[in-house]
Amino acid sequence: MHLVLTENITLDGVVDGSGGWFGPAGDDPADQSDQSDVEAELRRHMARQDGLLLGRVTFEEFRSYWPAQTDDATGITDHLNRVHKYVVSTSLDDPGWDPTTVLRGPLLDEVRALREAPGGELGVTGSIAVAHQLIEAGLVDEYRLFVYPVVIGSGRRLFVEGIDRLDLRLDRATTFRSGITLLVYRS
């Protein structure tokens, strides 16, 4: 499978959504018209995804939110309920959300095996500790960065100090009506 890292990110590189700058797609009905082009792009991404790799914290956040969404017009709930999820955890016994496989590690060996498996895309989103390990190991084939037009000054960043140089090639850039820009880079 082709490993694709998709992150929502601020102009200053923050991926930590706790600053209130980002909410799940479709959260605010007033923003629906401004977000319809972003949602259409997300649906295209989901259609190519055969698996989703998540850290335990992101998995538990998704599990507590998405399955309960009964009026989700974005298609995210249906996708997440259907796609095979791989959760990285040494403490999770029962994922409680099918289909899910718990990966106990070592993480990089598990991910290398998934990348060798047949299929389309293996997505990674959120899960910043997992993302950092995958970036450092050079296992990310494609970066999809939804850049939000906001600077928040602090928070966890996608590319941390001390990381080895990454030479990426811009595959495409798309600007949406909301001002969000999608930057797609390949390794």
User: CATH number for the domain including 64?
Assistant: 3.40.430.10
Q: Are 138 and 8 in contact (CB under 8 A)?
A: no
Which DSSP letter does residue 71 get?
Answer: S
Residue 18 lies in a domain: no
Residue 20 lies in a domain: no
Strand partners, 84: 51
Blockwise average pLDDT, block size 10, the chain, 187 residues: 97 87 55 75 96 97 94 93 97 95 95 96 96 96 96 91 90 95 96
N- to C-terminal Cα distance for the chain?
15
Res 174: pLDDT: 97
Report how far residue 39's alpha carbon sits from residue 73's, in angstroms, rounded to the nearest whole number.
9
Res 25: pLDDT: 52
| 24-47 as b/e: b if 16+ CB within 10 A | bbbeeeeeeeebbbbbebbeebbe
Residue 36 lies in a domain: yes
State the residue range of the domain holding 140: 2-11+30-186
Residue 139 lies in a domain: yes
3-class DSSP assignment, residue 60: helix
Res 23: pLDDT: 65
For residue 14, what are its two tokens? 């923050």
Q: Give Cα separations from 21 to 16, 149, 155 (angstroms).
A: 9, 10, 11
| Domain count of the fold of the chain | 1
Nearest CA among 30, 63, 149, 130 for reference residue 122: 130
Nearest CA among 155, 134, 154, 124 for reference residue 54: 124
Strand partners, 14: 157
